Amino acid sequence: MASGPSRYAFPKSHRLLKRDAFLRVQSSSHRVASRHLVILYLKNNLGHVRVGITVSKRHGKAVRRNRLKRVIRAAVRLSMPQLRTLSLDLVVLPRRSDEVVGSRGLREEIGTLIPRFLI
């Protein structure tokens, strides 16, 4: 294994961890949406992106919600090289769907949403 930070790393400093941080982003009116995801965003002064993932109970029981969070986290991790330069707090919310989407599909959706943050 190579030592040093990976370009796909998702360290704690790049995550939203506290409830008040999530609420601050959710109360902002900035959002972009795709077929399977809604991303809420708010500028921060940290010089790097912070990402939080929220999956509500309407998506199913804990096993299904946790799997959905893992897939979204993997998609975000693979999108980190594009996201790393943004100075934003992001909250990723999946839309309710019976369609099963993999990490690759979500990563492509995140890739199409990133340019819309900059508008």
For the segment 46-102, what is each residue's pLDDT rounded down to a tens digit? 988 999 999 999 988 999 899 989 989 888 888 888 888 889 999 999 987 767 778
Amino acid at 90: L
Give the pLDDT score at 1: 47
Q: What is the pTM of this model?
A: 0.86
pLDDT in tens, 8-53: 777 888 899 999 999 999 998 899 999 999 999 999 999 889 999 9
SS3 content of the chain, % helix, strand, coil (to 5): 45, 20, 40
All domains of the chain, ordered by start, with CATH?
Answer: 12-117 (3.30.230.10)
- C-alpha pair distances (Å), 27 with each of 16, 30, 77, 92: 15, 9, 25, 14
Residue 68 to residue 64: CA distance in whole angstroms: 6
